[in-house]
Chain A
């Protein structure tokens, strides 16, 4: 069974840091692209960051302005999100998701999120 389990969330003061983890099982983690997506209270889904299977390609939402760093350890089947300089607007449930590839001969690979974890809650408040 494919499973993604996030951890590391909690209450942190503005300006603080937090490191989220996503433990994966049930599939070959080292072959798959991964994403972080967040959802602020009562709001919609917001893509945060993506990382390719070998960490060659890494992307972030512009709104993060260099405060977050995505990484992965394929030997440990784990995905991470280091969050620094946290702000109240970063308060959200953070989900990790697997990126499943969809291929087109002209445009190459495109990725949608086929499996999601249950999320971990980050609250930034003084």
Chain B
């Protein structure tokens, strides 16, 4: 199975800060990567697919980049509503999609 590793595990930042989360795959997945946001007690919500395509309705302060084995999710100007856990997920393999362990973002 393809392993996904996110860093950091947690981060704390202030409103207006630029925040970057990294996701690394154990082997190349081209750009078959999605990012999800999960607020406490809620279902995950799709933010980005194919590494960099913003899902409809998602604020433009979210962006994704990368290919191969290294990917980033960037929040350009952190807002209070962005307090959540963020997960990357590879879908290179239909039979074995895998998630990163998550990055908890706290807004000061």
Contact = CB atoms under 8 A, between A and B. Distances in A.
Given A50-B97, A57-B94, A113 B46 contact: yes
Contacts of A68: none
A111 B94 contact: yes
B97 A102 contact: no
A114 B46 contact: yes
Of the listed residues A35, A57, A113, the one surrounded by the most CB atoms of chain B closer than 10 A to its CB is A113
Given A45-B87, A111-B91, A116 B99 contact: no
B23 interface: no
B4 to A, nearest CB: 10
B99 A45 contact: yes
B13 to A, nearest CB: 21
Contacts of B100: 44
B65 interface: no
A47 B44 CA distance: 13
Interface in B57-108: 87, 89, 91-92, 94-102
A57 B31 CA distance: 23
Contacts of B101: 44
Given A45-B44, A57-B94, A113 B99 contact: no
B74 to A, nearest CB: 19
B44 A112 contact: no
A50 B97 CA distance: 9
B98 A47 contact: yes
Interface string A30-50: 000001010000001111001
Interface of A: 35, 37, 44-47, 50, 57, 59, 61-62, 95, 97, 100, 102, 104, 107, 109-119
Interface of B: 1, 30, 32, 34, 36, 38, 42-46, 49-50, 55, 87, 89, 91-92, 94-102
Across the A-B interface, the 10 shortest Cβ-Cβ residue pairs: A116-B43, A59-B95, A112-B34, A45-B99, A44-B102, A112-B91, A47-B97, A112-B49, A44-B101, A110-B91
